[in-house]
């Protein structure tokens, strides 16, 4: 983990972790980096054969206004999808996360990038994100202290939760 | 009514603790106002013109005596001795100190209340017919479904950052008292041919600067599919609603720009994929929530019929109040009492701490411990025995709560306007007060009959002017407050948006203009049984424009 708090850091349910990926506009720009995240258009522009036979992992980054439709039939070959939050209050990527993880069974890494603040961390995890790329100092500090601003129960199904015992069908408790 | 279980208590308590921490960090300067803003909005705390404002949720407008007493206590201890009931069946406090808000939230949590989702771009407090459970024309009580929606929408991970706020209203009666067609989703609880319970679903109603009447997208949705279908609607909206312009971000614009047919197709397609998911409501859960709302066992009180008739003969004030403010209950020995929060010349929707406590006492003794807040900014005692009406009337009268004007011209809806609100262009409350004084005489009001005046201090339309029989919209022109008038609006089962008459009127002129409209109506109605709206629908705007602007109508 880096000492400076303003750097991007990658966090998942188990805590902070190293990020093997770099973000690049194209494979050419990425140089020798082993794992790369490309913008959606660049990713879609890759020849499927090139992508599959590449000896590096090539993830894709999707802006809130972009359609995930073209990715759906290739999901089992995608190692990582980064959904962007240009601002914390642009909530489109939550619905996409739900669709990717819940509906379409995406089993790669689903990552939230952008304006990731502490108050949205639980929402992101419950919507299906595996990792969060964090720069906000308060978020980093609180994640470090594992203070997620969670509630003891939830009123709707979501990932990382279990059916709450003896109560209404829509209620959940955080998974142990 | 619904009671919190341990799950609910723990959830609300956790949120209060979080907000305490956030307020502490704001007060210590760790958080700037800008950083604090999204956090306070999640908890119903607005920054108004003069102070913070706290909006407390009253789910579907239902309160117990204990809850109402606590609202009065909060008004006395933490505010200036009063609170303001809103058009979304909530209450807001206009003068709390930020440092006191955590304590207020603690006080609320003790009586199973909170302020979550009373602001922000999330699913807001779900509203319902204020006569739910007692109205004679009801198929079923809509509140169990409003409660299910309330729970499901609480801190929803996918739907807490929608393009814009999202309002759901539910009614269980053919006559719509919940204005469902001016909500983002309107649900009309009904039965199908097989006698099964379900909903007609309306989407895309709203007011603001682009008023739209909702479109019916489904004639019958089985009750068990309520959450999956609502999820489908909100998901399509979350993904595709506009975010480039906050004035075009409500679902009504998405419906308008996409087309009802295409949007319905998208929603139905999304729903097909969700229909058999975890969101399907087991009948056992519907029944369990429903059991909280079982009608109370009301003792037979047949002596009320005679007592009521006798009291009406000797007390004319009481007789007028009963005729205007008491509506039939399912049980013929009982009545539904509307407590007007529109005293002549008063501030619509305001209630003092003492008044709230009095209403709490009366509800406990005479109304099965139940109170409703109506979207018309009045209070309702849903179960008062006819035999107790006179006693209740005298108690209310002593504290200025027996104004006999429910549904009449002085029963005005008004937003807080420029007296409080940071968004307003013009004052609303003083206009409401002057109209109320002008038409305040009991005989005159009664002669005019049913007439809904609604006043907004800006285009955001919190005072629902678009759906007022007479609507008044405050605008600012060259530094002066100007009032535009609309006619013929309505928010019931035949919802219409009012038409603008023409140029606006100054604050001095506007009450005279309303009087001209009223006099024109009185002159052309076919009889007293043709109310203002019916007369307007028959004759159109022309006679009213002529009265306002002269023969050469500049509005034409």
Query: Scanning every residue of chain A, which has its alpha carbon at the shortest distance from the alpha carbon of B279?
Result: A170
Backbone phi, psi, residue B393, to 5°: -60, -45
The overall average pLDDT reported for chain B is: 95
Domain's final residue, options B75, B110, B145: B110
| pLDDT tens track for B106-117 | 999 999 999 999
Q: With contacts defined as CB-CB under 8 Å, which chain A residues touch B160?
A: 91, 94, 120, 123
Residues B140 and B89 in one domain: no
Give domain status of residue A163, yes or no: no
pLDDT band at residue B38 under the 50/70/90 scheme: confident
Q: How far is A170 from chain B (nearest CA, A)?
A: 7
Q: With contacts defined as CB-CB under 8 Å, which chain B residues touch A127?
A: 157-158
Domain's final residue, options B46, B77, B110: B110
pLDDT band at residue A122 under the 50/70/90 scheme: very high
Query: Scanning every residue of chain A, which has its alpha carbon at the shortest distance from the alpha carbon of B287?
Result: A168
Asked if the model's pLDDT at residue B57 lies above 90, the reply is yes
Residues B159 and B241 in one domain: yes
Q: With contacts defined as CB-CB under 8 Å, which chain A residues touch B238?
A: 91-92, 94-95
Query: Scanning every residue of chain B, which has its alpha carbon at the shortest distance from the alpha carbon of A97?
Result: B158
Residues B95 and B199 in one domain: no
Q: With contacts defined as CB-CB under 8 Å, which chain B residues touch A172?
A: none
Give domain status of residue A156, yes or no: no
- At residue A138, the pLDDT reads 86
The residue segments making up the domain with residue A21 are: 9-151
Task: Determine contact: A168 vs chain B, CB below 8 A.
Answer: yes
Angle between helices B542-549 and B510-524 (to 10 degrees): 140
Q: How far is B491 from chain A (nearest CA, A)?
A: 31
Residues B284 and B311 in one domain: no
SS3 call for B314: helix
Task: Determine contact: A43 vs chain B, CB below 8 A.
Answer: no
Chain A to chain B, count of Cβ pairs less than 8 Å apart? 101
The residue segments making up the domain with residue B326 are: 303-398
Q: With contacts defined as CB-CB under 8 Å, which chain B residues touch A129?
A: none
Q: With contacts defined as CB-CB under 8 Å, which chain B residues touch A119?
A: 38-39, 42
Residues B360 and B426 in one domain: no
pLDDT band at residue B551 under the 50/70/90 scheme: low
pLDDT band at residue B552 under the 50/70/90 scheme: low
pLDDT band at residue A3 under the 50/70/90 scheme: very low
- At residue A6, the pLDDT reads 63
Residues B337 and B459 in one domain: no
Asked if the model's pLDDT at residue A176 lies above 80, the reply is no
Report long-range pairs for B364-371 (Cβ below 8 Å, ≥24 apart): B364/B65, B366/B391, B366/B392, B367/B337, B368/B296, B368/B298, B369/B64, B369/B65, B369/B66, B370/B1, B370/B62, B370/B63, B370/B64, B370/B296, B371/B62, B371/B63, B371/B64, B371/B65, B371/B67, B371/B68
Asked if the model's pLDDT at residue A4 lies above 70, the reply is no
**B159·A94 Cβ contact <8 A:** yes
CA distance B450 to A40: 59
| pLDDT tens track for B241-298 | 999 999 999 999 999 999 999 999 999 999 999 999 999 999 999 999 999 999 999 9
Q: How far apart are the first and last CA of chain B?
A: 52
pLDDT band at residue B34 under the 50/70/90 scheme: confident
Task: Determine contact: A126 vs chain B, CB below 8 A.
Answer: yes
Give domain status of residue B127, yes or no: no
Task: Determine contact: A53 vs chain B, CB below 8 A.
Answer: no
Residues B320 and B286 in one domain: no
Give domain status of residue A73, yes or no: yes
CA distance B256 to B238: 16
CA distance B19 to B27: 12
Instruction: Please give the tally of structural domains in chain B.
Output: 4
Residues B239 and B146 in one domain: yes
- At residue B391, the pLDDT reads 98
Q: What is the mean pLDDT of residues B32-39?
A: 86
Contacts for B245 with CB less than 8 Å, ≥ 6 apart: none
| pLDDT tens track for A143-172 | 999 988 899 999 999 998 999 988 999 999
| pLDDT tens track for B480-514 | 899 999 999 999 999 999 999 999 999 999 999 99
Judge whether A80 and A21 are in contact, CB under 8 Å.
yes
Angle between helices B101-110 and B65-78 (to 10 degrees): 160
Domain's final residue, options B292, B321, B354: B292
Residues B286 and B309 in one domain: no
Which CATH number goes with the domain that contains A27?
Answer: 3.20.20.70
- At residue A7, the pLDDT reads 82
* Nearest CB to A153; choose among B7, B35, B238: B7
**A98·B281 Cβ contact <8 A:** no
Asked if the model's pLDDT at residue B555 lies above 70, the reply is no
Q: How far is A152 from chain B (nearest CA, A)?
A: 6
Task: Determine contact: A153 vs chain B, CB below 8 A.
Answer: yes
Residues B312 and B260 in one domain: no
Q: Tell how strand B62-64 and strand B370-373 pair up.
A: antiparallel
Q: Determine the longest span between alpha carbons in chain A, in angstroms.
A: 56
pLDDT band at residue B556 under the 50/70/90 scheme: very low
Q: Any idea which residue has 């002529």 for tokens?
A: B546
**B15·A171 Cβ contact <8 A:** no
| pLDDT tens track for B316-359 | 999 999 999 999 999 999 999 999 999 999 999 999 999 999 99
**B11·A155 Cβ contact <8 A:** yes
Residues B359 and B325 in one domain: yes
Give domain status of residue B408, yes or no: no
Give domain status of residue A67, yes or no: yes
Give domain status of residue A171, yes or no: no
Q: Any idea which residue has 């007390």 for tokens?
A: B315
Which CATH number goes with the domain that contains B329?
Answer: 3.90.480.20
**A171·B151 Cβ contact <8 A:** yes
Lowest mean pLDDT among A19-23, B86-90, B128-132, B421-425: B421-425
- At residue A5, the pLDDT reads 46
SS3 call for A80: strand
Name the more confident of B419 and B306.
B306
| pLDDT tens track for A71-107 | 999 999 999 999 999 999 999 999 999 999 999 999 9
The complex scores an ipTM of 0.95
Give domain status of residue A59, yes or no: yes
- At residue A1, the pLDDT reads 40
Instruction: Please give the tally of structural domains in chain A.
Output: 1
**B238·A95 Cβ contact <8 A:** yes
Residues B420 and B536 in one domain: yes
Give domain status of residue B220, yes or no: yes
Alpha helical stretches, state H, B387-509: 389-398, 429-438, 442-448
Q: What is the mean pLDDT of residues B82-89?
A: 95
């Amino acid at each position: 983990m880096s000492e400076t708090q303003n750097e991007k850091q990658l966090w998942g349910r188990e805590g902070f972790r190293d990020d093997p990926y770099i973000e690049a506009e194209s494979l050419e720009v990425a140089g020798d980096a082993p794992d790369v995240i490309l913008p959606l258009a660049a990713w879609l522009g890759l020849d499927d054969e090139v992508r599959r036979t590449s000896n590096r992992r090539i993830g894709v980054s999707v802006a809130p206004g972009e359609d995930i439709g073209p990715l759906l039939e290739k999901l089992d070959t995608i190692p990582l999808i980064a959904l962007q939050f240009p601002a914390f209050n642009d909530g489109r990527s939550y619905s996409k996360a739900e669709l990717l993880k819940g509906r379409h069974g995406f089993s790669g890494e689903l990552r939230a990038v952008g304006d990731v603040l502490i108050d949205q961390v639980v929402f992101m995890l419950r919507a299906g994100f595996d990792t969060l790329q964090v720069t906000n100092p308060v978020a980093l500090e609180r994640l470090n202290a594992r203070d997620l601003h969670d509630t003891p129960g939830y009123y709707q199904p979501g990932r990382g939760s279990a059916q709450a015992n003896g109560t209404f069908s829509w209620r959940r408790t955080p998974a142990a | 009514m619904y009671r919190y279980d341990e799950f609910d208590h723990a959830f609300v308590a956790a949120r209060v603790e979080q907000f305490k921490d956030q307020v502490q960090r704001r007060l210590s300067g760790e958080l700037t106002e800008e950083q604090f803003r999204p956090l306070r909005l999640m908890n119903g705390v607005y920054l108004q013109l003069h102070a913070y404002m706290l909006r407390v949720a009253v789910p579907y407008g239902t309160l117990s005596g204990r809850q109402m007493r606590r609202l009065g206590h909060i008004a006395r201890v933490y505010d200036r001795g009063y609170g303001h009931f809103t058009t979304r069946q909530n209450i807001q406090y206009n003068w709390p100190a930020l440092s006191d808000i955590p304590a207020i939230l603690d006080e609320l949590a003790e009586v199973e209340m909170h302020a979550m989702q009373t602001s922000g771009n999330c699913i807001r407090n779900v509203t319902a017919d204020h006569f739910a459970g007692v109205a004679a024309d009801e198929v079923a009580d809509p509140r169990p479904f409003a409660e299910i929606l309330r729970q499901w929408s609480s801190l929803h991970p996918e739907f807490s950052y929608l393009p814009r706020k999202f309002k759901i209203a539910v009614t269980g009666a053919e006559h719509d008292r919940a204005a469902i067609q001016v909500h983002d989703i309107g649900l009309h609880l009904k039965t199908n041919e097989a006698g099964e319970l379900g909903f007609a679903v309306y989407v895309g109603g709203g007011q603001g600067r682009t008023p739209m009447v909702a479109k019916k997208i489904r004639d019958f949705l089985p009750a068990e599919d309520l959450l999956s279908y609502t999820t489908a609607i909100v998901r399509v909206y979350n993904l595709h609603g506009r975010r480039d312009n906050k004035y075009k971000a409500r679902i009504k614009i998405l419906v308008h720009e996409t087309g009802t047919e295409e949007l319905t197709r998208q929603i139905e397609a999304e729903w097909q994929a969700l229909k058999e998911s975890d969101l399907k409501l087991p009948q056992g859960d519907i029944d369990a929530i429903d059991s909280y709302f079982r009608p109370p066992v009301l003792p037979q009180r047949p002596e009320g019929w005679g007592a009521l008739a006798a009291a009406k003969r000797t007390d004319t004030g009481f007789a007028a109040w009963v005729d205007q403010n008491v509506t039939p209950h399912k049980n013929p020995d009982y009545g539904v009492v509307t407590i007007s929060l529109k005293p002549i010349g008063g501030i619509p929707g305001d209630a003092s701490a003492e008044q709230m406590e009095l209403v709490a006492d009366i509800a406990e003794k005479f109304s099965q411990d139940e109170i409703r807040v109506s979207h018309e900014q009045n209070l309702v005692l849903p179960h008062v025995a006819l035999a107790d009406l006179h006693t209740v009337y005298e108690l209310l009268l002593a504290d200025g709560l027996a104004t006999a004007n429910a549904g009449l011209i002085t029963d005005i809806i008004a937003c807080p306007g420029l007296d409080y609100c940071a968004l307003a262009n013009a004052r609303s409350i003083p206009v409401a007060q002057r109209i109320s004084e002008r038409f305040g005489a009991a005989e005159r009001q009664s002669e005019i009959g049913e007439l809904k005046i609604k006043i907004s201090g800006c285009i955001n339309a919190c005072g629902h002017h678009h759906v007022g029989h007479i609507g008044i919209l405050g605008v600012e022109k060259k530094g002066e407050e100007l009032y535009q008038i609309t006619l013929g609006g309505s928010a019931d089962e035949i919802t219409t948006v009012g038409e603008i008459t023409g140029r606006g009127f100054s604050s001095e002129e506007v009450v005279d203009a309303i009087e001209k409209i009223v006099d024109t109506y009185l002159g052309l109605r076919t009889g007293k049984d043709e109310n203002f709206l019916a007369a307007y629908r028959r004759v159109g705007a022309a006679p009213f424009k002529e009265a306002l602007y002269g023969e050469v109508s500049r509005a034409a």
